[in-house]
Structure 1
């Protein structure tokens, strides 16, 4: 079983709290992306990143400081979005850290797929960015089925806690014998399940923590999740979509 999650835009540098264990598997492809980004000027990158002048300048300077090898921040500490704050990896015990290293995978537009303890550097590159690389028209084309095949070589069961922007790198390449279960966190409004961005991110982080704390190995055990007001809904769930509703 592999759990997939999205990265976060905000990133930290922390080379002291946890030991780095290896590097991302697709580092050779990351080097190609880095070179492509470094060949662009600030206005081009600002358009690509779709961000403010201040963020573009900071990210541009960061681009020339990136180290892809050496002493780096373990990915699970590098990303600092809402999902990661609710996962709270800094307070995992050794058993929980081992669990996420074995089961959790972070999808990335820059690195492809990352294990929690892989060393990474701060970067800015979302998967949906319109970056043409070599013969590829965008990052989805550039990564192709490589991310999915890397995951499928490790397991036949994917627990999807990633946003659609990232999960499509896997879902579009599903093949016979591979099961992908998407976890949906929402509210029931007029007989429909409505998701709210911030709450979804919080719940995804809480789900990873729940799985690590309970050493979950069977997907069906996810139905026992009951945190920050969410509970499993038999009504809206099926074999490929586990729906958790906010209790009013």
Structure 2
């Protein structure tokens, strides 16, 4: 089983608390992206990042000083955001770390695919960014099928907890026949539609990852037992490739 999640925009550097276990698998591609970013003007970079002057200045400094091989932080501990807060990696037990290292994969516009304890440095580059590199018009073209190949899903299954921006960099390239289940966390509208909301969805994704690690989940059918944060599996709105979880007061 492989579990796909998105990164977070906010990152922190903490090379002293816990040492990384390895460098990212696609580091040579990351080095090419770094060269492309360093060749851009500050104005071009800010347009690419779509951010404020303050955030642009911070990331320009990061870009100038970036070292991809030293003073790194494990990816799982580097990202800061709602999803990662609800994962609460700082208080997991060793067996839960081992589970995540074996099953969890973090998708990244800059690094491609990360295992939880791959060493990273703070960066800003979303998968949807229009960065032309090596003849590709954007990062989807740049990465191609590399992310799916590095993922090595084997016979599967693959649990998709990533946003569409990130999952579309992997899912179309998975080998035919690999079981894929996308998890939806939402509320039921009066018209019968299930609607996901940004913040609650991120919380639920992080909580599910934590729950999977605590339960050592290895079969997709076990996901139906997830009931944290008031969510409950909705069998009548789900199918084999799409598990829908609704707030309990909506079921």
TM-score, normalization by structure 2: 0.96
Structure 1, 62-71 or 6-15: larger mean CA deviation = 62-71
- For residues 221 and 143 of structure 1, what CA distance do their matches in structure 2 show? 32
Instruction: After TM superposition, list the pairs within 5 Å mapping 1:1-248 onto structure 2.
Output: 1-152=1-152, 154-189=154-189, 190-248=191-249
Per-residue Cα deviation, 1:128-173 (whole angstroms, up to 9, x for no partner): 0000002111000000011012213555211000000000011212
* SS of corresponding position for 1:140: helix
Runs of 4+ in 1 over 3 A off after TM superposition: 152-155
Are the aligned partners of 1:132 and 1:139 in contact in 2 as well (CA < 8 Å)?
Answer: yes
Separation in structure 2 between the aligned mates of residue 23 and residue 174 of structure 1, nearest angstrom: 24
Note the aligned Cα RMSD (angstroms): 1.0
Structure 2 CA distance for aligned equivalents of residues 226 and 92 of structure 1:
19
What is the distance in 2 between the residues matched to 1:102 and 1:152?
11
Q: 2 CA distance for matches of 1:139 and 1:220?
A: 33
Q: Is the 8 A contact 1:20 1:71 kept in 2?
A: no
For 1:142 and 1:86, the matched residues in 2 are separated by 31
What's the CA shift for 1:232? Answer: 0.4
User: In 2, Cα distance between the equivalents of 1:141 and 1:246?
Assistant: 37
| SS across alignment from 2:229 | coil
CA deviations over 1:58-114 (Å, ceiling 9, x no partner):
111111121111231000000001100000000000000000000000000000000
How big is the shift at 1:41? 1.1
For 1:213 and 1:17, locate their aligned partners in 2 and report how far apart those are by CA, in whole Å: 22
CA distance in 2, matches of 1:161, 1:62: 29
| CA distance in structure 2 between the aligned counterparts of 1:19 and 1:58, rounded to whole angstroms | 25
User: Could you list the runs of 5+ residues in structure 2 that have no partner in the other structure?
Assistant: none
Q: CA deviation at 1:18?
A: 2.0
Partner Cα separation in structure 2 for residue 197 and residue 31 of structure 1: 32
Is the contact between residue 2 and residue 153 of structure 2 (CA under 8 Å) also seen in structure 1?
Answer: no
TM-score (norm 1): 0.98
Three-state SS of the structure 2 residue aligned to 1:213 is: helix
